[in-house]
Amino acid sequence: MKRRDFLKSVSGLAAAGALTPAPAIWSSAKAQARSETLLIVSESGPNNLDIHGVGTNVPGYEVSWNCYDRLISHEMKSGPGGVPYYDRDKFKPELAEDMNVGDMSVTFKLKKHAKFHDGAPVTAKDVKWSLDRAVSVGGFPTFQMGAGSLTKTEQFVVVDDSTVRIDFAKKDRLTIPDLAVIVPCIINSELVKKNATEKDPWGLEYTKQQTAGSGAYKVVKWTAGTEVVMERNDAWAGGPLPKVKRVIWRMVPQAGNRRALLERGDADISYDLPNKDFVELKDSGKLNIVSVPYSNGVQYIGMNVKIAPFDNVKVREAVACAIPYQKIMDAVLFGLAKPMFGAAADKATEVAWPQPTKYVTDIAKAKALLAEAGYPNGFETTLSFDLGFAGVNEPLCILVQESLAQIGIKTTINKIPGANWRTELNKKVLPLYTNVFSGWLDYPEYFFIWCYDGKNSIFNTMSYQSKPMDEFIHGAVDAAAIGNTAKYDADVKGFVDLAFKDIPRIPLYQPYVNVAMQKNVSGYQYWFHRRLDYRTLVKA
Amino acid sequence: MLTMIGKRLMFAIPSLIGVVIVTFLLTRALPGDPAAYFAGPAASKEAIEQIRKKLGFDKPLIEQFLRYANDLAHGDFGTSLTTGQPVATEIRNRLPASAELTLLGLIVSITIAIPLGVLAATRPGSWIDHLCRVTTTAGVSLPVFFTGLVLVYVFYFRLGWSPAPLGRLDVFYSAPPTVTGLYLIDALIAREFETFRSALSQLILPAATLAIFSLAPIARMTRASMLAVLASDFVRTARASGLSPSTVIVTYAFRNAMLPVITTLSMVFSFLLGANVLVEKVFAWPGIGSYAVEALISSDFAPVQGFVLTMAVMYVLLNLVIDILYGVIDPRVRLEG
């Protein structure tokens, strides 16, 4: 008798005992409920059901994505490993049935039969009110709208009951894609206005607790920090009716328990497990594991170029040559990431981002570079990381510390609590650190505006400022707006080359989104926001 | 009696005021900027400033405090940023979850620890004394999250006897109508026996984890205090008068040994209530411990303040109950302020 069979028979015996509920199926109704319900487990849950809210966290985006519609969304294409992957360049209507792009405006015709969860029809007035709200409430939503040059309420014009025109502030390639991100969701304006107060004219308090959209799902119960229960909206007009009737999303803080729930077959999907668990689950073959690289995301080692000795490009190069790249891939990530280093020396730069650098671990070269820079005996500095992602950051930093010690750079590791990380980054005083950045809009120039531009945004954590770099970036932005491909390609190659030559930040790898699900669950799609889209999931 | 209770409550007021001030200052002294945290990963400096203004953190400290004190006086504990809910509601919903778990854990622990301690004291050096020593040492030296994980691994993952560690109820049950907030009692009131069964089976592993941990102080204290009492003159006299051993131990010795045990119990109870954070984490239990820690990690001031204040009130009440119990157990204890 095998051990597993023995255990099974033991648990079988125990099932006769008094208090052995195990997968308790008490009635056929409950069994049916289970087969029509998708049970998702994750570490943390939403703090707000509305992405326009103050400080809505990332799990909150998932609720918004599934419970609200946008005017347009993206088509799917086949991505890495055959996983359906959103197509950056192809849009499909969601609430709109037709999109008509003019020279300085875009006009949407709304689907006539689209209705909100309470049965009210979706009108052009709702669209305007929702977009007005997104550009007015401040904080993240307004900021994200601004990324697509959508900043003023005057830009949104009601033409008639089912037609909306959006005027462009300027020619910007990112305006249309920015209408397909999570933020410009369409809200039931009459319902929310009824529940708004003088102090809260946009009704943020109301939509925080309940969904007021037209999306494929609606929240029927939300216990903050414990669970979110969503039910399918059978009257959904945004696309084909989803297969899953009910989604129960439970917060299970312990990673080991999430894995146990998956392996026992009690939970259907989990997506934030440590890399090691994912590799082991993949090898065991009991579950479906999907790994897809983050679009437009890179984990990197940053160096503050305003602080000596990192103001010296030779020092930065020396560090780039001393990073234990392959060790990080193997020992920290267990291979679940896409390397962003070690491209062949004769490989031409591509018009793409992210792409690998040509750096490899070469201690001798690093030593020589450091000596050339005037630090033959190295120096001392601190290496900081965000404790909120300690699972990856801590071993990564220890490997880097070890490796830098070989060329004489003595580092003290500085662990910064998650709540404090962004504050510290904002101060721009950390000399050496690791961090990750990923943009929703998957365009090289979008990434570079945030991370390398001289206007020194908070993601330009290196305080890197360079005139030629700014010229390349803005050249690419302007070329994209008027469709000048030749100039665009040249500028993108220009800024990528310069970023690798000046090397203020050393790309390490493109992280993977790892999703583990039961064999009978299918239909996973990768989206730019990296959260789950329940609408295409199927439970057999 | 009533005047005594009233007096004791009066004395609690200054300490509560102190707690309010200290927690307010401590949360403000924490490193970390809630505005930056809640502005999200893609926020600009302006966005962070906007959030700061919305949250009222741009005002001077004294003004923030006055506003906080005023809200508190109106029963408003503020709103948590991490869960988005009013703190008072959250604590009201989560306290019963923690209380139910802690009480059950404590009851299990008492039913094992007190007999064990008494037996160990009456037969020092015997196998039961050694058993008591080994159990308590093991229980106190195993960290709760470890015990919890081992129990989950063995009873859920390997054997499948226990339900999934998914909080207070199986996913497909709904909570019984709230009367006390304790699911076991509410389910019985509503006569929903399936729910009762589900709630109980969810409770067994976490309660066992807590019980294993809290066995040690109770058993050791019972043993020590019994030993002291058994060696005292009145027990010798009772024995010499020919009373049966059971009468001597239960009626004379045990009752007198109870006082330190009760004190330990109150300590253990309040300690467990606040410190079962790890158990709550392991079993996805929606209690107040995990709530407070989550809030602390994200510099979410309001829940931390609310939590500390609630705990302070609970301590005051608990101490009062213990003092009254003293009087019941031992009439020699006079209660005067």
Interface contact A254-B33, CB threshold 8 A: no
Domain match, A180 and A214 both: yes
Per-position b or e across A367-406, b if 16+ CB within 10 A of its CB:
bbbbbebebeebeebebbbbebbeebbbebbebbbebbee
Q: Are A94 and A87 in contact (CB under 8 A)?
A: no
Res A9: pLDDT:
42
Query: How does DSSP classify residue A286?
Result: S
Interface contact B43-A140, CB threshold 8 A: yes
Distance CA A213, CA A220 (A): 13
% of chain A beyond a pLDDT of 70: 94
- Rounded to the nearest integer, the mean pLDDT of chain A is 88
- Sequence-ordered alpha helix ranges (H) in B231-276: 233-240, 245-247, 255-275
Res A6: pLDDT:
42
Q: Which residues of A touch B98 (CB under 8 A)?
A: none
pLDDT band at A501 (very low <50, low <70, confident <90, very high): very high
Res A331: pLDDT:
92
Q: Which residue, among A458, A459, A461, A518, would best test binding to B if mutated, counting the most B CBs under 10 Å from its CB?
A: A458
Token output for A108:
């949407």
Token output for A24:
């308790």
List, in order, residues 6 or more apart from A60 with CB less than 8 Å away.
A46, A47, A48, A49, A50, A51, A53
Interface contact A140-B197, CB threshold 8 A: no
| Closest Cβ–Cβ partner in A143, A223, A266 for B43 | A143
Query: How does DSSP classify residue A186?
Result: B
Res A358: pLDDT:
93
Token output for A283:
């090898």
CA of B283 to nearest chain A CA: how many angstroms apart? 8
Distance CA B63, CA B77 (A): 16
Q: Which residues of B touch A260 (CB under 8 A)?
A: 152-153, 156-157, 165
Average pLDDT of A255-265? 87
In a domain, A53, yes or no: no
| Closest Cβ–Cβ partner in B37, B171, B284 for A422 | B37
Interface contact A143-B153, CB threshold 8 A: no
**Torsion from C-alpha of A453, A456, A460, A466, nearest 10 degrees:** 50
Res A391: pLDDT:
85
- Sequence-ordered alpha helix ranges (H) in chain B: 2-29, 34-38, 45-55, 61-73, 87-122, 127-141, 144-151, 183-189, 193-230, 233-240, 245-247, 255-275, 277-282, 288-297, 301-329
End-to-end CA, chain B: 11
CA-nearest residue of chain B to A247?
Answer: B171
| Closest Cβ–Cβ partner in B80, B204, B281 for A253 | B281
Res A20: pLDDT:
40
Neighbours of A244 (CB within 10 A): 22
Distance CA A365, CA A451 (A): 28
pLDDT at B30 over 90: no
In a domain, A522, yes or no: yes
Q: How many domains are contained in chain A?
A: 2
Distance CA A206, CA A194 (A): 10
Q: Amino acid identity, residue A108? A: F
pLDDT at A124 over 80: yes
Q: Which residues of A touch B47 (CB under 8 A)?
A: 138-140, 142-143
Domain match, A496 and A527 both: no
In a domain, A283, yes or no: no
Residue that is written with structure tokens 């962003």 in the block: A340
CA-nearest residue of chain A to B165?
Answer: A257
Interface contact A21-B197, CB threshold 8 A: yes
Res A15: pLDDT:
39
CA of A378 to nearest chain B CA: how many angstroms apart? 32
Q: What's this model's pTM, rounded to 2 decimal places? A: 0.81
Domain match, A246 and A359 both: no
pLDDT at B81 over 70: yes
End-to-end CA, chain A: 32
In a domain, A11, yes or no: no
In a domain, A8, yes or no: no
**How many angstroms separate the Cα of A229 from the Cα of each of A39, A129, A210, A359, B82?**
10, 28, 12, 48, 19
Interface contact B282-A226, CB threshold 8 A: no
| Closest Cβ–Cβ partner in A55, A58, A267 for B51 | A55
**How many angstroms separate the Cα of B66 from the Cα of each of A143, B24, B63, B72?**
33, 11, 5, 10
CA of B46 to nearest chain A CA: how many angstroms apart? 8
Q: Give the SS3 label for residue A514.
A: strand
Domain range for residue A387? 297-512
Q: Which residues of B touch A7 (CB under 8 A)?
A: 158-160
CA of B17 to nearest chain A CA: how many angstroms apart? 28
Domain match, A101 and A195 both: yes
Query: What would you report as the CA-atom Rg of chain A, rounded to the nearest whole angstrom?
Result: 25
**How many angstroms separate the Cα of A3 from the Cα of each of A15, A240, A266, A479, B159?**
18, 46, 21, 66, 11
Q: Which residues of A touch B43 (CB under 8 A)?
A: 139-140, 143, 422, 458
CA-nearest residue of chain B to A9?
Answer: B159
Res A94: pLDDT:
93
Nearest one of A368, A238, A394 to A315, comparing CA atoms: A368
The alpha carbon of B294 is separated from its chain's Cα centroid by a whole number of angstroms, namely: 17
**ipTM for this model:** 0.73
Distance CA B210, CA B277 (A): 11
Domain match, A84 and A160 both: yes
pLDDT band at A19 (very low <50, low <70, confident <90, very high): very low
Nearest one of B313, B336, B321, B268 to B15, comparing CA atoms: B313
Neighbours of B337 (CB within 10 A): 8
Domain match, A95 and A210 both: yes
Strand order in the sheet with A96-101: A96-101, A105-110, A163-167, A156-160
CA-nearest residue of chain A to B85?
Answer: A224
CA-nearest residue of chain A to B296?
Answer: A419
Average pLDDT of A481-510? 93
Res B213: pLDDT:
85
Question: Assign residue A109 a region: left if phi > 0, alpha if psi is -120 to 50, beta otherwise?
Answer: beta
Res B41: pLDDT:
60
At B296-321, the pLDDT tens digits run: 777 777 888 888 888 888 888 888 88
Distance CA B103, CA B272 (A): 9
CA of B294 to nearest chain A CA: how many angstroms apart? 9
Q: Are A55 and A498 in contact (CB under 8 A)?
A: no
Q: Which residues of B touch A19 (CB under 8 A)?
A: 197, 200-201, 204
Neighbours of A270 (CB within 10 A): 27
A414 phi, psi to nearest 5 deg? -115, 110
Q: Are B303 and B309 in contact (CB under 8 A)?
A: no
CA-nearest residue of chain B to A460?
Answer: B44
Domain match, A404 and A355 both: yes
Token output for A358:
């040509």
Q: Which residues of A touch B292 (CB under 8 A)?
A: none
pLDDT at B4 over 80: no
| Closest Cβ–Cβ partner in A257, A267, A458 for B282 | A257
CA of B243 to nearest chain A CA: how many angstroms apart? 42
At A404-443, the pLDDT tens digits run: 999 999 999 998 877 678 778 878 889 999 998 888 889 9
In a domain, A485, yes or no: yes
CA-nearest residue of chain B to A450?
Answer: B42
- CATH number at A120 reads 3.40.190.10
Residue, of B199 and A301, whose pLDDT is higher: A301
| Closest Cβ–Cβ partner in B36, B40, B152 for A140 | B40
Q: Which residues of A touch B203 (CB under 8 A)?
A: none
At A324-334, the pLDDT tens digits run: 999 999 999 99
Interface contact B172-A56, CB threshold 8 A: no
- CATH number at A365 reads 3.10.105.10
pLDDT at A507 over 80: yes
CA-nearest residue of chain B to A437?
Answer: B41
CA of B297 to nearest chain A CA: how many angstroms apart? 6
Domain match, A350 and A442 both: yes
B194 burial (CB, 10 Å; 0-12 / 13-18 / 19+) is: middle
Interface contact A458-B161, CB threshold 8 A: no
DSSP assignment of B186-243 equals: HHHHTT-HHHHHHHHHHHHHHHHHHHHHHHHHHHHHHHHHHHHHHTSHHHHHHHHTT-
Q: Are A434 and A300 in contact (CB under 8 A)?
A: yes
Domain match, A317 and A217 both: no
Q: Which residues of B touch A140 (CB under 8 A)?
A: 39-40, 42-43, 47
In a domain, A36, yes or no: no
Interface contact A143-B198, CB threshold 8 A: no
Q: Are B196 and B209 in contact (CB under 8 A)?
A: no
In a domain, A95, yes or no: yes
Residue that is written with structure tokens 């205090």 in the block: B225
CA-nearest residue of chain A to B40?
Answer: A55
Domain match, A212 and A336 both: no
Res A7: pLDDT:
41
Q: Give the SS3 label for residue B165.
A: coil
Domain match, A304 and A388 both: yes
At A297-344, the pLDDT tens digits run: 999 999 999 998 999 999 999 999 999 999 999 999 998 899 999 999
Domain match, A526 and A507 both: no
Interface contact B45-A426, CB threshold 8 A: yes
**How many angstroms separate the Cα of B202 from the Cα of each of A264, B166, B198?**
16, 8, 6
At B43-65, the pLDDT tens digits run: 667 777 777 887 777 888 888 88
At B215-259, the pLDDT tens digits run: 888 888 888 888 888 888 888 888 888 888 888 888 888 888 888
CA-nearest residue of chain A to B35?
Answer: A55
What are the structural domains of chain B? 94-293 (1.10.3720.10)
- Tell me the sheet residues that pair with A385: A415
